[in-house]
Chains A and B, each alone.
Chain A
């Protein structure tokens, strides 16, 4: 039986594991992207000529929540990059791209097209392959 202090140390160690941080980062990035899409569509461009800059989206509160989520995710990401090669980390963080439709399917009851299911399966297969290269490297 591990004591209270020992349990806390294990939790801290778990929290600072770069792969755990990468998982947090994926959730944060997913949240940020959903917020940004909400913000970008909620606002109307000031003038057509500068609409490509995306400045008008700053008027929406969703955009600001998205920006905060992005800033926290950046801190996570920098920590991850310090410990994992970017060629491995960037592949794994791409899982965030399939979390959005999966989340909408699980929690909002939205349907997923067959093509999208194939895409999700493809990303997950790729993630498993990259995870296997990590095991071979002898990383944690």
Chain B
């Protein structure tokens, strides 16, 4: 994996996580916050095309660390920025899911 591909993979996951947090933020309110929603969808669109490009050039089994880290990073972001309460059991659960996604993607 080249340094460029590594950088793009890292960047795309950042877009995915920020996009998801913006979506949740937008849907939290009544009425829905349209500008936040559009911002979230825009970030997810950028992630979508970057990820599509990576999939064309690399096998998914090479991209497993990025795929695997997603769940734990999204939960961390939700805890940090959206102040969602995550019990210990939730942290262990999300850790197992991240590990599992990494293992499934890697093999």
Number of interface residues of A (CB under 8 A): 49
Beta-carbon contact of A120 and B75 below 8 Å? no
Closest to A125 in B: B96
Closest chain B CB from A68 CB (angstroms): 13
Interface size class for chain B?
35 or more
Q: Is the interface of A mostly helix, strand, loop or mixed?
A: helix
Beta-carbon contact of B57 and A91 below 8 Å? no
Beta-carbon contact of B20 and A98 below 8 Å? no
A94 at the interface (CB under 8 A from B): yes
**B interface list, Cβ under 8 A from A:** 4-5, 8, 20-21, 23-24, 27-28, 32, 37, 41, 44, 48-57, 60, 67, 70-71, 74-75, 78-79, 82, 84, 86-87, 89-90, 92-107
- Interface CB pairs A-B, < 8 A, 6: A40-B55, A90-B75, A90-B78, A119-B106, A120-B104, A126-B97
